[in-house]
Chains A and B, each alone.
Chain A
Amino acid sequence: MEKFKSIIRDYPFIAFIIAFVILAFVPSVIFTDVYQSHLATLIFVNIVVAAGLNIVKGYCGQVTVGHVGLFAVGSYTAGTLFLYLGLGFWATLPIAIIVTAFFGVAMGIPSFRLEGPYLALATLGGGEAIRLFIENGNFFRSTFGISDIPTPSLMGYNFDSPDRYYFISMTIMIIAVYFSFSILRSGVGRAFMSIREDPICAAAAGINVKKYKILAFILSAMFAGAAGAVYAHMPPGYIHPNNYTVIEMVTFLAMVVLGGLGHIWGGIIGAIVITIVYDLTRPLYKYQLLIFGLTIVLTILFMPKGLGGFIDRYFLEKRFKKKTGTEKTT
């Protein structure tokens, strides 16, 4: 067991490969109908967005409310590339990621001057501007949405149903989570955190604050772009501007806040919980926003570090007690 632990410590991607194999067997063993695969794909898409949002909001501390705009950029890049050039998933995914990265730069530039609620307002404007631009341009087929975006196929095998597409979304999710994991565990993650805590002190400690802020925005935009492309190609392959409103943004925020801002697994835990709750409360659709708003407020009030921080705290207190023999109360 010790040996296994040290291997995982040196080569963390092995843990992700194991997770991949386990998740690959989930549909055939656990799922009873296609809808559950569809739900799993939604969870995976949300995990990718939330992992990216966790980088910029949880770690770098830049309050952005325009992330859904970047998600839309990813989707619509994929959608329009298919619509006008007939490109498939394997071409649209990387292009969507790159295009969204550029939009991420634009979204991040206000963060040089603004912070806190002011930055939130600026990014909210950015996200809404993107949505309105898409909605009002005939170029984007705004009224009817873009439909029949093809599912990807690999070596003659077409991932054309939810239970097959599951594997595509799962792979992207595992890769994205692995990247976010290794970025945040390294010195880059620490630099992000010090900018969140105190930008002046971070600068005095040798951290290039502007560079790292923009880096955080680019990275999280790339995650959102990847998620957007995966979402666009998800069967039945239909996207509409109404899927990218502030309401979606609130659910993304609820994921990150509930999972734990600045917790390495925060976005992931939150995305799983919120997506499932979202699905279960569909009959109460009138009250869904109320539920998520309340979730955010109550989490911030009573569990400021989210579920992830809550679990961490439990183990930390246990360890501290073992080490020093005293109770640490705060």
Chain B
Amino acid sequence: MILKTKQLSKSFGGLKAINKVDFELPKNEIRGIIGPNGSGKSTFFNLVSGIYDSDPGSYIEFDGHDITFTPPHEIASYGLSRTFQLLRLYQDMTVIDNVMSGYHTRVPYKFFDAVIGRKKIWDQERAIKEEMMELLSFVGLADYAELNASELSGGQRRLLVLARAIAMKPKLLMLDEPAAGLSPVNVDNLMKIIMQLKEKYGLTLIIIEHILKVVMDTCNSVTVFDHGQKIAEGTPAQVKDDNAVIEAYLGKKMDDEEMRKALAV
């Protein structure tokens, strides 16, 4: 188990955004998370990556570390990387700087060496830059390396965010709607790149996605959230036919008696 939560809860005032979620994720799995808007998927990501503090009584374990109350930068240093739904691109930095800033946890030198500006530093910086350029050409952005990130198109931004999250060589990569707003062709291209990256770096993946085709085709297993609770879990085929899931997405199936009652009122 690379990620494990027990009784994970988070409330905002009276609203229970996440309510007692037990979640387990084995290594090398691709897990899809689906659910209607406001069902707590992104909150779950924010809790695991440490952006929010979870409520007392919760327990989160990542790769053998108890990370329940660990600040986000430490969680990242254990090898957990994530993307954001709203991208959070570093708009005013060049594309290559964006990706290199994702490398932060792996930077080998100390601050003092950097102040003195020893030769070693510049050699290492160049090695990092070369590695990151390779990554950029892998996702197809090498030509744009020196442009500002704000000058990229929507699809390129998604790729850049992905590359930035990969740069730290994470063990677990959490993608929050990686394909939102992409055209079908671009979605296929993005998923192909994600799968190639998974093979290359041996990643474990969690993907939040609203395009069900993506989830059904690529994920080994799917977890469904509704109203802050986990309502179903299993292989894509199992989840597709689960009554609770259909209810959450489409509404409750009524029999004749109930229908008559509902119409009479």
> Contact residues of A with B, CB < 8 Å?
9-13, 178-179, 181-183, 185-188, 190-191, 193-194, 196-198, 200-209, 215, 262, 316, 319-320, 323-324, 328, 330
Contacts and interface: CB of A to CB of B under 8 A. Distances in A.
Contacts of A11: 119
Interface stretch (B59-67, B85-93, B191-199, B221-229): B85-93
B236 interface: no
Nearest to A186: B114
B82 interface: yes
Interface of B: 49-51, 71-73, 76-77, 81-82, 84, 88-93, 97, 100-105, 107, 109, 111, 114-117, 119, 121-123, 125, 128, 143, 146-147, 151, 164, 168
Contact of A197 (B76, B91, B115, B168): B91
Nearest to B120: A10
B30 to A, nearest CB: 21
Given A201-B88, A205-B104, A193 B121 contact: no
Closest 3 pairs between A and B when the two form their complex, measured CB to CB: A182-B117, A206-B76, A206-B105
B143 A323 contact: yes
Nearest to B45: A204
A204 B82 contact: yes
Given A187-B104, A194-B90, A194-B104, 11 more contacts: A181-B117, A187-B109, A187-B128, A193-B93, A197-B92, A203-B51, A204-B82, A205-B102, A205-B168, A206-B73, A323-B143
B117 A197 contact: no
Given A190-B104, A328-B147, A12 B122 contact: yes
A286 B76 CA distance: 54
A182 B102 CA distance: 20
Contacts, number: 114
A320 B49 CA distance: 37
26 contacts: A12-B122, A181-B117, A185-B125, A187-B125, A190-B97, A190-B100, A193-B90, A193-B92, A193-B101, A194-B101, A197-B90, A201-B84, A202-B101, A203-B50, A203-B51, A203-B73, A204-B49, A204-B50, A204-B51, A205-B81, A205-B101, A205-B104, A206-B73, A207-B101, A209-B73, A262-B92
A267 B100 CA distance: 24
Contacts of B168: 205-206
Contacts of A324: 143
B122 A10 contact: yes
A11 B84 CA distance: 39
A232 B49 CA distance: 49
A195 B81 CA distance: 17
Contacts of B114: 182-183, 186-188
Contact of A178 (B77, B117, B128): B117
B101 A200 contact: no
Contacts of A206: 73, 76-77, 104-105, 168
Nearest to A211: B73
Contacts of A185: 117, 125
A182 B123 CA distance: 13
B82 to A, nearest CB: 6
A182 B119 contact: no
B117 A13 contact: yes
Contacts of A201: 84, 88, 90
Given A200-B51, A201-B84, A323-B143, A207 B104 contact: yes
B151 to A, nearest CB: 6
Contact of A193 (B50, B71, B97): B97
B111 A188 contact: yes
A253 to B, nearest CB: 19
A190 B71 CA distance: 20
A218 to B, nearest CB: 11
Given A10-B119, A207-B104, A186 B73 contact: no
